[in-house]
Each structure stands twice: as structure tokens, then as C-alpha cells.
Amino acid sequence: MNYPSYLSRNARSGSLSSLPRGFSLIELLIVVAIILIIAAIAIPNLLRSRMAANEASAVAALKVIGVSNATYSAFYGQGYAGTLAQLGPTSGGCAIVGSACADLIDSVLSGVEPPTATPVKSGYRFTYTTQTAAPDPTSPNFSYTVVATPANPGSSGQSTFCFDNLVAVYKDTSGAETTGTDVNCLDTWVIGGSISPL
């Protein structure tokens, strides 16, 4: 019988003590425990980092809406847009760029794709409020608010943000879903406690 060299001696002597050894169960359990401890430390930090990134993205999106709304107001002469979709790109219901679809913000933030009045981007839901949904030169929108709330509070974000035509961003760290009015954030966002300007 042809045994490998390390087996040939043991096969003759009947001893298995010099066979290559694997890991013992205790050694494997120790490695698994170390991996679980590292994961328990790293995962909460990863989630906090993701929430912080989502919050920064929400603030940036609010500022994009603000700049786009100022451009819309100056270009179309009917005040601010009536809906976020009016700031968005052309879609099935809007064939050319105009006051109904100004192509100033992306399709997700405007709620064009997928179609919704309260779009979700980077874990935040955006709610736009103004005087009229269909402004025109005789009935313009003079003010607006946009409120960004976490789509999954505690998971996608913790703070709520409000932005208005006064170009101010307010942050509510309480986790409460605060709304805006068609005038400005300060009508419902009282500074102090958990609410502060950014």
C-alpha cells in the first residue's frame, strides 16, 4: 500500500499523533467571539455615519431647492414654484421646459420619478408647502417652505430640517415630525430647545 510519507510511518506504528491538526472548537469559538465584539463596536458607528451623511445630503438638497426656486421666480415672473415637480425635469405630462417643468432639480428630488408629492431622497422625505399649486403672474407665490423629515426616523436620520424663501435652514433634533407653513419656517419652528438655525 502506498501511503504519503507522513502517513507511512504512522500507518506502520498505528499512531496518529503526528498528523496535521486542524483548529479545535475552542479556538474557533474564540475567533467568532472576537469577530462579534468587533462587529458590535463597528456597526453602530457605521449607522451613525450613514445618518450623518443622510442629514448632510438633506440640507444640501434643501439649498438646491432654494437656489432653484429663486431661479424659477426670476425667470418665470410668477413667484416661486407651486410644487417640487414644477422645478423638476420634463416627464410624461410635461413635454417642454417651462413653468410647469423648469428642469432645475433632478427627477428624484422633484418627485417626478417615481411620481409623488412628497419625494424621498437619501433617506429623507421632502414636503413642499406654498400658497398655490398653480401660480401665475396674477397670483404668484411669494413664499414657501420645504421640510425634510427622516423616512425611517432613527435609521435614515434623526433630525428634521426646514428651509424657506428667507434662505434659512432650521434643524429640529427632537426627532418629532415638524411641519412648515406656506409663509416661513418660523411660524411653526420656534427657536430654542431642540430647534436651531444652521
What gap in Å lies between CA 23 and CA 138, rounded to an integer?
Answer: 81
Instruction: State in Å, rounded, how far the first CA of the chain is from the last one.
Output: 82
Structural domain boundaries in the chain = 23-197
Angle CA(131)–CA(180)–CA(132) in degrees, nearest 5?
10
Question: Would you tell me how many other CB atoms lie within 10 Å of the CB of residue 86?
Answer: 28
Q: Could you give the strand order of the β-sheet that contains 144-150, starting from the edge strand earlier in sequence?
A: 120-121, 124-130, 144-150, 160-164, 169-172, 195-197
66 burial level (CB within 10 Å; 0-12, 13-18, 19+): buried
Phi, psi dihedral angles at 116 (to 5 degrees):
-165, 150
Condensed to tens digits (0 to 9), the pLDDT of residues 19-44 reads 567 788 898 999 999 999 998 888 88
Q: Would you list the DSSP string of 75-123?
A: HHSSBS-SSHHHHS--BTTB-SSBTTB---S-TTTTTTTTT-SS-EETT
Comparing CA positions, the residue from 118, 116, 80 lying closest to residue 99 is 80
* Amino acid at site 47: L
pTM of the model: 0.78
CA atoms of 150 and 50, how far apart (whole Å): 12
Per-residue pLDDT of the chain (198 residues; tens, 9 = 90+): 565 555 555 555 555 556 567 788 898 999 999 999 998 888 888 888 999 999 999 999 999 999 999 999 999 999 999 999 999 988 766 778 888 889 999 989 998 888 888 999 999 999 999 999 899 999 999 999 999 999 998 889 999 999 998 888 999 988 777 777 888 888 877 777 788 888
- How crowded is residue 197: how many other Cβ atoms within 10 Å of its Cβ? 12
| Separation between Cα atoms, residue 71 and residue 62, nearest integer Å | 14
Pairwise CA distance, residues 136 & 77, whole Å? 8
For residue 12, count other CB atoms closer than 10 A to its CB. Answer: 9
pLDDT tens, 176-198? Answer: 777 778 888 888 777 777 888 88
